[in-house]
């Protein structure tokens, strides 16, 4: 099915990655940061699948599955921490978590 | 290159475009639930891309697990624990893109750099036509990557415990 | 190995160590016994050594204790040993040091009985004796310098013995610093000596110098120059230690120490170390006649200056300090004129009567409850008859009235001045003038303190201890009859006999004038200081006005030397220290600190605790890494 050049797949992957990066760096709301992290992870997955397809090996998809697992766990733990943060600070501003300053 | 493109491949580019636009909406959104929904759209678009790249199993997993489980978890958390209100005290709502200027510059530079590197590399292959189906993936998982699967299960256990512990109602009133 | 000679400095050394380590636990009796008996043993041993010396070969005894170190020069290795050399000169010195030292220790043991730090005091006195013995017994200049520094240290420790008073500490510091200037000059002289001759052994250097001079017939100007400078630098050292011009300012202030210290160190022994040095190095000095002339002139000028200053003093100890300065001027004058034996003879007799004067003054001060101002004393002849009698004996020896030991030694000096090659008639007249001044200030001292109205209101309480009085009595006997001790130092000063005496050019009236001078002085003072010595019944008899005229005050302050040195040296140094208050070099080092702090303040901004900034830093780093790696 195709003659999509790997180059284009990788461009898509980088684009999504960079968009996710912008989100992580520029947003103050921790929930949005977590969402942008998901976007970044997803982008990495695209790159892996593309590489697997080029070399005709299933390793790419296996790697993607592991990334998926990682994303799931990270979302769970992150959300749990987010809930604690909400309870303590009544706000989700990430700049409130700056006690390691100095 | 674009000349001998089958029509089905243009779907790839379209889906990619949808994914990028949806991601942008996620990153610049104000409403939490809207942003989550845009994220779901982005993931679905990427699933389509996967299918077109010859990885149907990955596409299925993307939809079922990523969009269907992880993001639903997000939605549940947001709705159940009232995380939806964006209460950042310092960011006025209508500043918009000005906030992101620095990050955009940095990200742009990074993007340019990555594209240049990829271009200079030996990346002129095209994707193959064959599909790598679930059977091949399953053989891989139960074969060489068995240990990885087990470790992944550990990770999931840890996540489960952490999630349970941290989200408990606050009985002792301790620190975060 | 001559054990007797080798052991001589060790008796007081052992006593010093015992008293320093166990001092706090010893009772007064034990501490006094240890210190005084060690001195007694030392005195006994010196007497035995004297006897041995007179029957030994060449009248010289040496003993090598151990090898200290080697000095290497271009002409090979010179050995520096701890070796004691006893000849006539050293014998005189050790007898004076241990004999007079023993009497002074005895006096001090009773005088300082009530002091809380008695063992520390006696320990320092013993250490001083050790250092002085090493100084006079040394056979090489390095060991001599060791003793030299040792006596300087003990002088410092003892002047500032009552260190809780700031004035005492300042006086000790002044003494140390001024003598240090002399010591530095001496060290440079030693180095020059080593550079010229390759040796520091005194006998060897003297022989070498004589030979070198004979070989070249006195024409080698380079050697002559060297010897001139060596002699001059050694003179600098002697001047510092013996409190002569220009380094004499420390001696009057050193009277801040306890009276036995003044007696031992600043009258009898340490201040004579300079005289001993010049006498010992006579070989070098004889080869530099110009320097001998300087020595004579310095001695004469100090003699006169100190005499004038003594006329204006109000403190009894300061009069005696200036008197010491003046008498050492006599000794320097003698040495400069080539009258070596006479100078050493005067050293010995001066030790006797000056120690007597100081100790008696100490007894008087103690009896008057530590009153030292002459204008508040008076009429002590009736109140303290014993002390007054001793004081009279001391003073008549000082004035060199005929028959006393002072007379014999002073006449011996004056006799050789007129016809000496390096002295001459002018210096003879200076000596006569000095004798006149001596008698005038002695009479003034006596009239003020012992005659006249009793200006002291309270009851005088003299210390009537027998031991104390017997020590003083022995000193008095020595002062009176010490002139009869025969002193034959001709074997020591063999080179000196080469100085020709120009006969037949001396006027006959030389000796007569010299003998009559003290009496002229007494006569003058009898009438001039009449107001001091008469007793009157006027109501104001308890008060004697102190002459505060400008000239008198100038003389009282040591003829302006102190203020001169103050404005010349002390004030500029203090000014320099003030402008360098922040210490330029320290600021230079602090630049380093400032630099580090600057970076700290800059880098601390990076750690702002904000997660997004950290992530942005990540991104930036990756971008840079990728950029660099792909280039």
Q: Residue A58: CA atoms inside 13 Å, Cβ hemisphere, count?
A: 18
Answer yes or no: is C123 within a domain. Answer: no
C329, C437 in Cβ contact below 8 A? no
For B20-34, B85-99, C69-83, C289-303, which range has the lowest pLDDT when averaged over its residues?
B85-99
∠ CA C286-C290-C296, nearest 5°, is: 85
Residue B36 has pLDDT above 90, yes or no: yes
- With CA atoms as reference, the chain B residue closest to C622 would be B110
Q: What is the pLDDT of residue C503?
A: 52
Answer yes or no: is A82 within a domain. Answer: yes
Spatial separation of the C-alpha atoms in residues C514 and C438, rounded to whole Å:
13
Q: What is the pLDDT of residue C270?
A: 80
Length of chain C: 631
| A25 contact residues in C (CB cutoff 8 A) | 612, 615-616, 619
Q: What is the pLDDT of residue B87?
A: 54
Answer yes or no: is A99 within a domain. Answer: no
The candidate with the shortest Cα–Cα distance to C133, out of C106, C159, C158, C102, is C102
C414, C425 in Cβ contact below 8 A? no
Burial status of residue C349 (CB atoms within 10 A of its CB: 0-12, 13-18, 19 or more): buried
- Based on the fold, state whether residues C345 and C393 are members of the same structural domain: yes
Count how many domains chain C has: 2
The candidate with the shortest Cα–Cα distance to C196, out of C214, C223, C178, C176, is C223
- With CA atoms as reference, the chain A residue closest to B166 would be A80
- With CA atoms as reference, the chain B residue closest to C620 would be B106
| Interchain CB contact of A88 with B (< 8 Å) | yes
Please tell me which of the candidates B103, B110, B120 has its beta carbon nearest to residue C623. Answer: B110
Q: What is the pLDDT of residue C459?
A: 76
- Based on the fold, state whether residues C394 and C521 are members of the same structural domain: yes
pLDDT in tens, C318-374: 999 999 999 999 999 999 888 888 889 999 999 999 999 999 998 888 888 888 888
Element housing C79 (H / E): strand C76-86
Question: Mean of the pLDDT values across residues C252-259?
Answer: 89
Q: What is the pLDDT of residue C495?
A: 58
Spatial separation of the C-alpha atoms in residues C471 and C105, rounded to whole Å:
9
Tokens of C538: 């006027």
Contact B110 C622 (CB under 8 A): yes
Higher pLDDT, B48 or C525: B48
C267, C351 in Cβ contact below 8 A? yes
| Interchain CB contact of A40 with B (< 8 Å) | no
Q: How much of chain B is in helix, strand and coil states, percent to nearest 5?
A: 70, 0, 25
- Domain membership of residue A64 as a residue range: 7-93
Tokens of C24: 């706090």
Spatial separation of the C-alpha atoms in residues C390 and C385, rounded to whole Å:
9
Between C88-111 and C273-280, two packed helices, what is the crossing angle to 10 degrees?
Answer: 170
C202, C280 in Cβ contact below 8 A? yes
Question: Mean of the pLDDT values across residues C610-626?
Answer: 89
C11: left (phi over 0), alpha (psi -120 to 50) or beta: alpha
Answer yes or no: is C481 within a domain. Answer: yes
Spatial separation of the C-alpha atoms in residues A28 and C198, rounded to whole Å:
87
Place of tokens 């005194």: C202
| Interchain CB contact of B17 with A (< 8 Å) | no
Count of helix runs (H) and strand runs (E) in chain B: 7, 0
| C214-224 burial: b if 16+ Cβ within 10 Å, else e | eeeeeeeeebb
Which residues make Cβ contacts (< 8 Å) with residue B65, sequence separation at least 6? A68, A72
pTM of the model: 0.70
- With CA atoms as reference, the chain B residue closest to C618 would be B106
Burial status of residue C458 (CB atoms within 10 A of its CB: 0-12, 13-18, 19 or more): exposed
Whether cis (ω within 30° of 0) applies to the bond prior to C58 is no
Quote the mean pLDDT of chain C: 85
Element housing C83 (H / E): strand C76-86
Question: Mean of the pLDDT values across residues C47-68?
Answer: 83
- Based on the fold, state whether residues C520 and C592 are members of the same structural domain: no
Q: Residue C231: CA atoms inside 13 Å, Cβ hemisphere, count?
A: 27
Answer yes or no: is A101 within a domain. Answer: no
| C66-79 burial: b if 16+ Cβ within 10 Å, else e | eeeeebeeeeeebe
| Interchain CB contact of B106 with C (< 8 Å) | yes
- Domain membership of residue C598 as a residue range: 582-629
Tokens of C287: 């080869």
Count how many domains chain A has: 1
Contact B69 A72 (CB under 8 A): yes
Question: Mean of the pLDDT values across residues C392-396?
Answer: 91
Q: What is the pLDDT of residue B125?
A: 74
C76: left (phi over 0), alpha (psi -120 to 50) or beta: left
Higher pLDDT, C484 or C359: C359
Spatial separation of the C-alpha atoms in residues C627 and C113, rounded to whole Å:
90
User: Which percentage of chain B shows pLDDT scores above 70?
Assistant: 82
Q: Which of the other chains make 3 or more beta carbon contacts under 8 angstroms with chain C?
A: A, B
pLDDT in tens, C440-469: 999 989 888 888 777 777 777 777 778 888
Question: Mean of the pLDDT values across residues C610-625?
Answer: 89
Contact B117 C626 (CB under 8 A): yes
Signed CA dihedral, C569, C572, C578, C579: sign only:
negative
- Based on the fold, state whether residues C528 and C622 are members of the same structural domain: no
Neighbours of C192 (CB within 10 A): 17
Spatial separation of the C-alpha atoms in residues C264 and C351, rounded to whole Å:
9
pLDDT in tens, C175-212: 999 999 999 999 999 998 888 888 788 888 888 877 87
| A98 contact residues in C (CB cutoff 8 A) | 608-611
Residue B150 has pLDDT above 60, yes or no: yes
C303, C427 in Cβ contact below 8 A? no
Answer yes or no: is C33 within a domain. Answer: no
Higher pLDDT, C584 or C303: C303
Residue A53 has pLDDT above 80, yes or no: yes
Contact C630 B120 (CB under 8 A): yes
| Per-domain boundaries in chain B | 7-132
**Continuous H helices in C117-220:** 118-137, 141-159, 166-197, 202-215
Spatial separation of the C-alpha atoms in residues B56 and C588, rounded to whole Å:
73
Contact B106 C619 (CB under 8 A): yes
pLDDT in tens, C504-514: 456 677 778 88
Look up the CATH architecture of domain B7-132.
Up-down Bundle (1.20)
**DSSP for C526-562, written as a single string:** HHHTHHHH-----GGGG--PPP--HHHHHHHTTTTHH
Contact B132 A61 (CB under 8 A): yes
pLDDT in tens, B56-108: 999 999 999 999 999 999 999 998 887 776 555 555 554 566 667 888 888 88
- Based on the fold, state whether residues C446 and C383 are members of the same structural domain: yes
- Based on the fold, state whether residues C481 and C594 are members of the same structural domain: no
Answer yes or no: is C472 within a domain. Answer: yes
CA C538 to chain centre: 44
Higher pLDDT, B96 or C38: C38
Q: What is the pLDDT of residue C498?
A: 47
CATH code for the domain in which residue A16 is found = 1.10.287.3510
Residue A1 has pLDDT above 50, yes or no: no
SS3 category, A16: helix
Please tell me which of the candidates A9, A19, A74 has its beta carbon nearest to residue B53. Answer: A9
- Based on the fold, state whether residues C529 and C620 are members of the same structural domain: no
The candidate with the shortest Cα–Cα distance to C615, out of B30, B95, A37, B101, is A37
| C610 contact residues in B (CB cutoff 8 A) | none
């Amino acid at each position: 099915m195709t003659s999509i050049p790997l180059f284009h797949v990788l461009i898509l992957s980088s684009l999504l990655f960079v968009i996710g990066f912008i989100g992580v760096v520029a947003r103050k709301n921790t929930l949005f940061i977590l969402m942008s992290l998901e976007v970044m992870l997803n982008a990495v997955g695209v790159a892996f699948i593309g590489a697997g397809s080029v070399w005709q090996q299933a390793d790419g998809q296996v790697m993607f599955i592991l990334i998926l697992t990682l994303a799931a766990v990270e979302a769970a733990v992150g959300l749990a921490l987010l809930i604690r943060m909400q309870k303590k600070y009544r706000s989700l501003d990430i700049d409130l978590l700056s006690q390691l300053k100095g | 290159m674009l000349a001998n493109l089958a029509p089905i491949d243009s779907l790839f580019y379209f889906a990619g475009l949808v994914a990028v636009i949806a991601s942008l909406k996620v990153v610049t959104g104000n409403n939490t639930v809207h942003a989550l929904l845009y994220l779901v759209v982005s993931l679905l678009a990427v699933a389509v891309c996967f299918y077109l790249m010859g990885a149907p199993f990955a596409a299925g997993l993307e939809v079922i697990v990523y969009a269907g489980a992880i993001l639903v978890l997000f939605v549940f958390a947001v709705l159940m624990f009232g995380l939806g209100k964006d209460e950042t005290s310092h960011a006025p709502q209508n500043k918009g893109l000005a906030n992101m200027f620095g990050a955009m510059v940095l990200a742009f530079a990074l993007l340019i750099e990555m594209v240049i590197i990829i271009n200079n590399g030996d990346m002129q292959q095209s994707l193959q036509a064959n599909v790598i189906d679930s059977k091949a993936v399953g053989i891989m998982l139960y074969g060489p990557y068995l240990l990885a699967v087990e470790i992944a299960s550990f990770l999931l256990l840890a996540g489960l415990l952490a999630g349970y512990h941290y989200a408990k109602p606050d009985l002792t009133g301790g620190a975060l | 190995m001559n054990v007797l000679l080798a052991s001589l400095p060790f008796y007081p050394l052992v006593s010093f160590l015992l008293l320093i380590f166990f001092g706090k636990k010893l009772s007064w009796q034990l501490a006094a016994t240890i210190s005084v008996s060690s001195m007694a043993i030392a005195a006994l041993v010196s007497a035995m050594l004297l006897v041995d010396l007179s029957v030994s070969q060449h009248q010289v005894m040496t003993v090598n204790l151990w090898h200290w170190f080697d000095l290497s020069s271009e002409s090979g290795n010179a050995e520096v040993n701890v070796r004691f050399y006893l000849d006539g000169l050293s014998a005189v010195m050790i007898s004076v040091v241990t004999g007079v030292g023993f009497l002074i220790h005895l006096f001090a043991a009773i005088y300082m009985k009530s002091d809380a730090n008695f063992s520390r005091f006696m320990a320092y006195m013993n250490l001083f004796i050790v250092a002085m013995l090493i100084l006079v017994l040394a056979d090489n200049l390095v060991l001599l310098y060791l003793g030299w520094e040792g006596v300087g240290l003990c002088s410092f420790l003892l002047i500032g013995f009552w260190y809780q008073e700031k004035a005492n500490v300042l006086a000790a510091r002044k003494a140390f610093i001024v003598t240090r200037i002399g010591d530095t000059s001496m060290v440079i002289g030693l180095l020059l000596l080593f550079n010229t001759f390759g040796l520091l052994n005194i006998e060897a250097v003297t022989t070498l110098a004589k030979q070198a001079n004979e070989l070249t017939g006195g024409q080698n100007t380079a050697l002559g120059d060297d010897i001139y400078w060596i002699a001059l630098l050694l003179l600098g050292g002697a001047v510092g230690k013996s409190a002569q011009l220009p380094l004499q300012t420390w001696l009057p202030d050193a009277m801040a120490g306890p009276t036995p210290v003044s007696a031992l160190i600043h009258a009898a022994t340490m201040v004579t170390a300079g005289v001993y040095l010049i006498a010992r190095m006579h070989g070098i000095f004889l080869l530099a006649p110009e320097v001998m002339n300087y020595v004579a002139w310095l001695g004469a000028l100090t003699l006169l200056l100190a005499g004038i200053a003594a006329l204006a003093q109000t403190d009894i100890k300061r009069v005696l300090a200036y008197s010491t300065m003046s008498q050492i001027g006599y000794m320097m004058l003698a040495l400069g004129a080539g009258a070596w034996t006479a100078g050493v003879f005067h050293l010995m007799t001066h030790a006797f009567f000056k120690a007597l004067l100081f100790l008696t003054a100490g007894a008087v001060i103690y009896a008057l409850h530590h009153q030292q101002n002459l204008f508040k004393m008076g009429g002590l002849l009736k109140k303290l008859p014993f002390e007054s009698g001793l004081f009279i004996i001391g003073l008549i020896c000082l004035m060199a009235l005929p028959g006393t030991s002072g007379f014999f030694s002073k006449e011996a000096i004056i006799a050789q001045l007129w016809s000496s090659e390096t002295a001459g008639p002018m210096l003879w007249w200076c000596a006569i003038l000095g004798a006149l001044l001596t008698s005038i200030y002695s009479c003034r001292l006596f009239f003020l303190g012992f005659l006249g109205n009793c200006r002291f209101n309270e009851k005088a309480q003299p210390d009537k201890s027998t031991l104390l009085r017997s020590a003083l009595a022995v000193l008095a006997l020595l002062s009176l009859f010490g002139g009869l001790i025969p002193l034959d130092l001709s074997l020591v000063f063999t080179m000196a006999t080469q100085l020709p005496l120009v006969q037949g050019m001396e006027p006959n009236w030389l000796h007569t004038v010299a003998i009559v001078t003290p009496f002229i002085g007494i006569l003058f003072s009898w009438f001039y200081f009449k107001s001091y010595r008469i007793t009157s019944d006027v109501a104001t008899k308890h008060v004697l006005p102190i002459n505060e005229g400008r000239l008198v005050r100038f003389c009282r302050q040591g003829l302006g030397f102190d203020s001169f040195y103050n404005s010349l040296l002390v004030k500029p140094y203090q000014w320099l220290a003030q402008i360098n208050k922040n210490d330029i070099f320290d600021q230079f080092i602090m630049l380093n600190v400032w630099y580090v702090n600057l970076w700290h303040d800059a880098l601390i901004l990076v750690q702002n605790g904000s997660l997004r900034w950290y992530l942005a830093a990540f991104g930036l780093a990756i971008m840079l890494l990728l950029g660099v790696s792909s280039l």
